[in-house]
Amino acid sequence: MHPEKATKRPAGESVKRPAGKSARKPAVRATAEAKPAAAAGAAAAAGAAAAAGAVGAAGAGRKPESRLAMVRRARRINRELAELYPYAHPELDFRNPFELLVATVLSAQTTDLRVNQTTPALFAAYPTPEDMAAAVPEEMEELIRPTGFFRAKTKSLIGLSVALRDEYGGEVPGRLADLVKLPGVGRKTANVVLGNAFGVPGITVDTHFGRLVRRWKWTEQEDPEKVEAEIAAIFPKSEWTMLSHRVVFHGRRICHARKPACGACPIAPLCPSYGEGETDPEKARKLLKYEMGGQPGQRLSPPPDYPGKPAPPLGAG
């Protein structure tokens, strides 16, 4: 996840960076017993090859896609992603709304993995808003140092904890208007908390989500709030939260920023940007990440239905 509010790095502080139908084949779904990378890549190869011809034909003079056709294609992509990632979930470890709020603020300009490796010690020291509001800044800074921008984040976490203690009875509010008033909390963070802690549908526009919806030609907008508004108009409200998880999952595992694994992508036949990345199936399979590539996920405590391996604790390798 990435910040929705500009974060200035205090002087002397460095950023810590951690080191078609065919697409619905059951083999695509990663399982703990199967080899995820091989399953995903094998099922996707034929679809990717078909996509190459389809995209080539589109570039050879087909008329522009109508909005209705785009909406139908977008909804089909969502259905395909739901089959590919039936276990999609927020990739931050949390046990309550307060922990999710804190973890999401910490996730600015770092990975969810790094946050998940950092928060156990943080929540052991400050389990409630009241505890965190009374924290000594220098002590909290040392605990969250691995996430980067630790001084600015400490200020935000103490500030939002004070607000929760003094204005909301120590409880995280369940309204967007209240959440965005908290220090360090913008619309993206608020939607994460509302959707995953309160069951209030919301679209979370992080860098992965924005990148993919533009690649899929669902929008041309760059501003996160405009992206959110345009995507919200395509899908029923009931789909917003899970759509966000599925798109982000796909962006992290297959449709990477610099080198998307086009040749191992099960939704390649529906993608107008097919060919921007590696189209050779064997080479593309090597680009798959997390459970799709047989690697640990980002959560130390993933949901029971997650088919991959848990992430290791901080310092465990």
Element (DSSP H or E) covering residue 41 = helix 36-59
Backbone angles phi, psi at 261, to 5 degrees: -90, 65
d(CA 172, CA 195): 13
Question: Is residue 188 annotated as a catalytic residue, yes or no?
Answer: yes
CA distances from 12 to 113, 150, 287 (A): 25, 11, 36
The answer to whether 133 and 165 have CB atoms below 8 angstroms apart is: yes
| Amino acid symbol at 8 | K
Q: Please pick, among 206, 223, 280, 289, the residue that the annotation labels catalytic.
A: 206
* 223 catalytic per annotation: no
DSSP assignments along 72-100, one per residue: HHHHHHHHHHHHH-TT---SS--SSHHHH
Given 93, 112, 153, 188, the catalytic residue? 188
Helix then strand count (H, E) for the chain reads 13, 0
Q: What angle do CA 219, 177, 116 make, to 5 degrees?
A: 75
Q: How are the residues of the chain apportioned to helix, strand and coil, as percentages rounded to the nearest 5?
A: 55, 0, 45
Query: Measuring CA to CA, which residue among 278, 257, 266, 303 is closest to residue 91?
Result: 303
Q: Which residues 6+ apart lie within 8 Å of 148 measured at CB? A: 14, 15, 16, 17, 109, 110
Neighbours of 132 (CB within 10 A): 24
CA distance 169 to 232: 33
Helix ranges (DSSP H) in 95-220: 97-106, 112-125, 129-133, 137-144, 150-167, 176-179, 187-197, 207-215
What is the H or E stretch that residue 232 is in? helix 224-232
Residues with a catalytic annotation lie at: 188, 206
